[in-house]
A and B are shown apart, each in its own frame.
Chain A
Amino acid sequence: MKAFLAKLDCGAGTRACRVETRLDAFRGLRTPRSKVPNTHAPRSKGIVRPKSVDTSVDAADTSVRATAVVVLALLTLACSAVAATGAQPGGELRFCLYSEPKTFNPLLVADTSSEAIRYMTAGVLIRVNRQTQELEPSLAVSWRVVSQGRGIAFKLRQHVAFSDGTPFSAEDVAYTMHTLFDPSLHAPTADSFHAGGAAVKIETPAADEVTLTFPTPVAGIERLFDQVGILSSKSPRKEMASLGPFYVAQYKPGSEVDLSRNPYYWKRDRQGLRLPRIDAVRLYIQQNRDMELIRFQRGDLNIMSAVSPELFDQLQARMPAAVRDLGPSLESEMMWFNQSPKAPLPAYKKLWFQSREFRRALSAAVNREDLCRLVYRGHAHPAEGPISPANRFWFNSGLKPHRYDPAEALALLGKAGFRLQDGQLYDAQSHAVEFSIVTNAGNQAREKIAQMIQQDLKAIGIRLNVVKLDYSAIIDRISQSLDYESCLLGLTNVDLDPDAQMNVWLSSASNHQWNPNQASPATPWEAEIDRLMQAQGSELNPARRKAYFDKVQEIVSQEVPFLYLVTKNALVAVSPSLQNADPSVLRPQAVWNIEMLALTQEVAKK
C-alpha cells in the first residue's frame, strides 16, 4: 500500500496544494478504518472496504487469482479515494482580501481577512444563514437552550471528519470551548459570551452530545456559535485541520492564501454529491482596489466585495451583468461630539457638545440626501439610527428620519441660547461657534462627507475645520488622550444581535465613544439606556428583547449622541462565470454560500 501511495504522490500535480489535497485523501483512506467507524467512510459508489476484500477471497484460490483480486481491490480503493475527495473538475475561485490575515486560528480572529478565511475553512455548530438571517444547524444537528438561558445543549452530527481525516466528536467541541475561554487568550469571540472570566462548565454526556453552562444567562446565545470555529483536539495539524468546506493549503505572506477543497466536508447537495463544488480558492492579498478592478475586468478575479461607488459605476458601464447593488448594508457613517468631562477642551465647548439642542440642530443641518447622492452616487441611504434596515429583526422601523431643515436647526440653536449674527453663530457667552472634526486620512468618502458637512454647517454660521489623521492617531485621540472635538468614522455591526453592542451603549464602557468609562451615568437618558441594555441582555424572550432595544434606538434618535449620517449599500461584482452566486449584505457577502458556488466549464478547466 505504501509503495502505491508513493507512486501516486510522485504523479500528483506540481503545485503544493494539489499534493496536499491528495495526501489528505490518502491519509483519510487509512485513518477511517482505524479511527472512524465504517459508517464514516465516504459513501461514494464503488467503495470496497478492506474487510470485505479479506472475507471475499477464498483461501483455497490460487495465488494468482488472489493477487489479481487484491490488485483489483487496490485499484477500486484508489478510485474510491478519488471519488471520496470529490475530484470533480471544479476549478479555482479567485478574489482579493484587502489586508493580511493576522491569524488562521479560528478562535483568535479579530480582523476582516481572517474572518473571511474562517468562514470558508472552519466548521461551526450553528450557522447564521446570511440570506434569511435565520439560524441553521451545521455541525450540531439540534440544540436547546437550558438552565434559564445559562446553558445550551447540542446534539452533534455524526460521521464527520476534519480535513486531515481525524474524526470529529464532542471532545473536540469541549476542547474548543476550553481553549476559547482561556482567560489568557482574550479572544473577541469569547468576550461576546460575556462570561466575565468565570468558569464555563462543559460536559460531554455522549460522543455526540455537549452541554455548556455559563455563570449567567447569555442573550441570544445560539447565534454566537456562528463565530466559534471548532478545533480538533487530536489532529496533528492542530488549528489547521478544518471542518469547513476548504482548508488552508498554502500561505504566501503578503501575496496570497490558497485554500483547497476539504475532501471530508460533511455537506452534500440535493443530488447527494459531496460539496463544495469548487476545488480551490485563491485569495490575493491586495489593498489597491483599482488594481483589483483591472484584474476583475481581465477575468483574473471572480468576485469583488465591498466595491466603492466610483468603481461600481465604472464597472456598471463596462460589465453591467457583473455588478449588484444589494441595498443597505450593516455599515454606516456617523459623527459624534466629545462630551467627556476629562477632555482637554474649553469649558464652553463642552457645554455646546453636552447640549441636546445643539446636537439635534447639527443633525438637522446636515443634508443626508446630498451625502448619499454626491458622495455615494446614490448607493447609500440616509441613516436613521444605530441599526441598519439590513438587520431585519432588530431594525426599529418606527424611528423618524432625520430631516434636513436648516431653519429648524437655527430654531433649536436659538432655544439653546445661540444667536446668528452676520453669518456667524455665537453662543450665549459670545463665543464664535467653531470646532474641528477628525477623520481618517485616505478614506475618500469620509473626506468628502466632512467637506460637505463643512458646507452645511457654514449655512447656519458654524465654522468646521476638517482634520485628517492616520488611523492610529485617531484611535489615540478618541480612546486615550480624548483631545478632539468631534469625530467622523464608520460603524460596522459584525453581529446582528445588539448584545454585541453592549460595550458601546453602557455608560461605563470604553467604547461609549462620546463619553467613555463613566463611573456613573452622566445623564438620565444614559442611565435609562444602561437599564434597557442590561434588561435585554438578561431577557430570553426575543420579542421582549426587541422591545427593550427599540426603546434604546428611540432614545438615541432623540438625544443624538451619535449623528448617524448614511447607511452604505452593499455593492459587489460577480463574474458571469460564477454560478449559484447569491450575494448577501452580510459578510462574507458573495461567498457566504461558497460550498454551492461553481464555475462555468470553460473557466473551471483553466
Chain B
Amino acid sequence: MSLDAAGTSARTTRLGRALLRIAATALAGGLLSATMVRFSPGFGLDEKQLDARLSRESQEAVLRSHDQERNPLRFYAAWWKRVFAGDLGFSQSLNRPIRELLADRAPATLDLMLWGIAGAWVLAIVFSVPAVMRRLARLAAVSSLFSGMTASLPAAGIAILLFRMGISAKWMVALVLFPRLYQYLRNVLQQASGRPHVLLARAKGLRWQPLLWRHVLLPARAQLIALVAVSINMAFGAAVAIEAICDIPGLGQLAWKAAAARDLPVLVVLTVMIALVTQMSNLVADLSTPILRSQS
C-alpha cells in the first residue's frame, strides 16, 4: 500500500467515524428532546381544555390527540420511520405540517443569522485587529470593556434594549455574537502576532498591514474557521430569543412557540436539525484544520 493510499484510507475512516458520530448525536439529541418535552409539565394539554363550550367528549378528544406521543421511545421510532418516508410530522399547536413551517420560516432565520454573523465578524475584526496589530492600548481597553458589557447581557436583554432604540434585529444578533468573537479573535491574533518572525519583522520596522494576511491570519485560519462554525451555533441560539421578542417569523420564534405549547414533533425536528447543523459545521472545521495546517 502506498503512503498516499494509506492517507486516503485513514481520512475516509476518520470521515466515516465523524459521520457516524454526527448521526449518533442527532439521534440521541432528538430522543433526549422528546423525553424532556414528554415529561415536562403541561405536556399533552391544550388551552382548548379551558374552553367552557367544549363537551366532555371533545375535551377527551383533545387529550387523546397526543396519545401517540406519550411513549417517547415509541413516538421517536415512529417519527424516524415517517421522516424516511418524507414526512416530518404535524404541529398540533400551529395546525400545520412541520415541513411547511420550516419552509416558511427558514429564510427569515437564515437572513437574520447571515447578517448577524457578518456584522459580528466585521465588528470583531474592526475592534481587534487595530488593537492587537497597532497595539492601541486605549482601543483595546474600550473594546474589552464594550465586549465585556455585551457579554454580561443575555441575548434577550440586548434584544429588548436595541428594540426599544429601534435598531434592526440583525444588529441584535451581531451584538450578541460580538463579545464571544472578539475575545477569541483577539487571543488568536495576539498569539499569531507574537510569533518570533512577526516580532522580528515589526522590530525591523515593517508595517503591520503586509504582515496581517500572510503571517497572522493565514497561520490562524484553522482556528478562525472553527470560530465560524461556533458562531453559526451561537447565532441560532441568539435568533431564538431575538425572533421571539421582535416577532420575526423564523425558526427561532417557531422553537419558542413550540416550547411554550409543548409541541413535541416540532421540538424534535428542530433539535435534530440544530444537532446536525452544529455537528456538520464542526466537522467542516475539523476536516479543514489538518489540511490548512499542512498547507501553512
Q: Which residues of A does B touch, CB under 8 Å? A: 100, 102-103, 110, 183, 186-189, 191-192, 194, 196-197, 252-255, 285-288, 290-291, 294, 469-477, 479-481, 494-495, 500-504, 509-511
- B95 and A103: CB pair below 8 A? yes
- Encoded as 1 (CB less than 8 Å from any A CB) or 0, chain B from 157 to 170 comes to 00000011010000
Given A191-B54, A191-B55, A470-B260, the answer on whether A475 and B100 have CB atoms closer than 8 Å is no
Q: Which of A252, A253, A480, A500 contacts B96 (CB 8 A)?
A: A253
- Give the contact stretch, choosing among B26-34, B38-46, B189-197, B224-232: B38-46
8 A Cβ contacts from B208-255 to A:
245-247, 249-250, 253-254
Given A254-B104, A290-B164, A475-B45, the answer on whether A503 and B53 have CB atoms closer than 8 Å is yes
Given A253-B104, A254-B249, A472-B262, the answer on whether A102 and B95 have CB atoms closer than 8 Å is yes
Across-interface contacts of B164 in A (CB, < 8 A)? 290
Q: How far does the alpha carbon of A169 sit from the alpha carbon of B107 in the complex, in Å?
A: 44
Across-interface contacts of A481 in B (CB, < 8 A)? 41
CB distance from A493 to the nearest CB of B (A): 9
Q: Is B81 an interface residue (CB 8 A)?
A: no
Q: Is B62 an interface residue (CB 8 A)?
A: yes
Q: Is B122 an interface residue (CB 8 A)?
A: no
- B52 and A502: CB pair below 8 A? yes
Given A102-B95, A186-B57, A197-B57, the answer on whether A253 and B249 have CB atoms closer than 8 Å is yes
Q: Which residues of B does A touch, CB under 8 Å? A: 40-43, 45-59, 61-62, 94-96, 100-101, 104-105, 108, 163-164, 166, 245-247, 249-250, 253-254, 257, 260-262
Q: How far does the alpha carbon of A599 sit from the alpha carbon of B43 in the complex, in Å?
A: 46
Given A191-B54, A192-B53, A500-B53, the answer on whether A186 and B45 have CB atoms closer than 8 Å is no
Q: How far does the alpha carbon of A103 sit from the alpha carbon of B246 in the complex, in Å?
A: 24
Given A254-B105, A291-B247, A502-B52, the answer on whether A473 and B100 have CB atoms closer than 8 Å is no
Which B residue sits closest to A184, measured CB to CB? B61
Which B residue sits closest to A110, measured CB to CB? B48
CB distance from B70 to the nearest CB of A (A): 13
Which B residue sits closest to A494, measured CB to CB? B53
CB distance from B216 to the nearest CB of A (A): 43
| 13 A-B contact pairs sorted by A residue (CB < 8 Å) | A110-B51, A186-B61, A253-B101, A254-B250, A254-B253, A255-B249, A471-B42, A472-B42, A475-B47, A479-B45, A480-B45, A503-B52, A503-B54
CB distance from B231 to the nearest CB of A (A): 25
- B53 and A188: CB pair below 8 A? yes
- B43 and A472: CB pair below 8 A? yes
CB distance from A221 to the nearest CB of B (A): 15
CB distance from A285 to the nearest CB of B (A): 7
Across-interface contacts of A509 in B (CB, < 8 A)? 56
Across-interface contacts of A194 in B (CB, < 8 A)? 55
Given A197-B57, A472-B41, the answer on whether A285 and B49 have CB atoms closer than 8 Å is no
Which A residue sits closest to B244, measured CB to CB? A287
Given A291-B247, A473-B41, the answer on whether A186 and B105 have CB atoms closer than 8 Å is no
- Of the listed residues B47, B48, B247, the one surrounded by the most CB atoms of chain A closer than 10 A to its CB is B247
- A253 and B55: CB pair below 8 A? no
Across-interface contacts of B247 in A (CB, < 8 A)? 285-288, 291
- B50 and A186: CB pair below 8 A? no
CB distance from B263 to the nearest CB of A (A): 10
Q: Which of A288, A475, A511 contacts B42 (CB 8 A)?
A: A475
Q: Which of A196, A477, A495 contacts B41 (CB 8 A)?
A: A477
Other CB < 8 Å A-B pairs besides A188-B51, A288-B163, 7 of them? Answer: A100-B94, A188-B58, A191-B58, A253-B100, A254-B104, A472-B45, A477-B41
- B47 and A102: CB pair below 8 A? no
Given A253-B104, A291-B247, the answer on whether A475 and B49 have CB atoms closer than 8 Å is yes
CB distance from B243 to the nearest CB of A (A): 9
Across-interface contacts of A503 in B (CB, < 8 A)? 52-55
Q: How far does the alpha carbon of A188 sit from the alpha carbon of B261 in the complex, in Å?
A: 20
- B42 and A191: CB pair below 8 A? no
Across-interface contacts of A187 in B (CB, < 8 A)? 58
Sort A-B residue pairs by CB-CB distance and give the 8 closest, nearest first.
Answer: A254-B249, A472-B42, A186-B58, A473-B41, A476-B42, A191-B55, A188-B53, A253-B104
- A196 and B55: CB pair below 8 A? yes
- A476 and B104: CB pair below 8 A? no
Q: How far does the alpha carbon of A188 sit from the alpha carbon of B55 in the complex, in Å?
A: 8
Q: Which of B53, B163, B166, B260 contacts A471 (CB 8 A)?
A: B260
Q: How far does the alpha carbon of A503 sit from the alpha carbon of B245 in the complex, in Å?
A: 36
Which B residue sits closest to A517, measured CB to CB? B56
Across-interface contacts of B50 in A (CB, < 8 A)? 475, 479, 511
Q: How far does the alpha carbon of A511 sit from the alpha carbon of B62 in the complex, in Å?
A: 14
Q: How far does the alpha carbon of A501 sit from the alpha carbon of B166 in the complex, in Å?
A: 44
Q: How far does the alpha carbon of A501 sit from the alpha carbon of B55 in the complex, in Å?
A: 11
- Of the listed residues A254, A294, A473, the one surrounded by the most CB atoms of chain B closer than 10 A to its CB is A254
Which A residue sits closest to B94, measured CB to CB? A100
Q: How far does the alpha carbon of A105 sit from the alpha carbon of B7 in the complex, in Å?
A: 62
CB distance from B125 to the nearest CB of A (A): 32
Q: How far does the alpha carbon of A481 sit from the alpha carbon of B39 in the complex, in Å?
A: 13
- B262 and A291: CB pair below 8 A? no
Q: How far does the alpha carbon of A26 sit from the alpha carbon of B94 in the complex, in Å?
A: 34
Which B residue sits closest to A500, measured CB to CB? B53
Q: Which of A183, A188, A495 contacts B54 (CB 8 A)?
A: A188
- B52 and A501: CB pair below 8 A? yes
CB distance from B144 to the nearest CB of A (A): 32
Across-interface contacts of B261 in A (CB, < 8 A)? 472
Which A residue sits closest to B53, measured CB to CB? A188
CB distance from A275 to the nearest CB of B (A): 30
Across-interface contacts of A287 in B (CB, < 8 A)? 247
CB distance from A297 to the nearest CB of B (A): 12
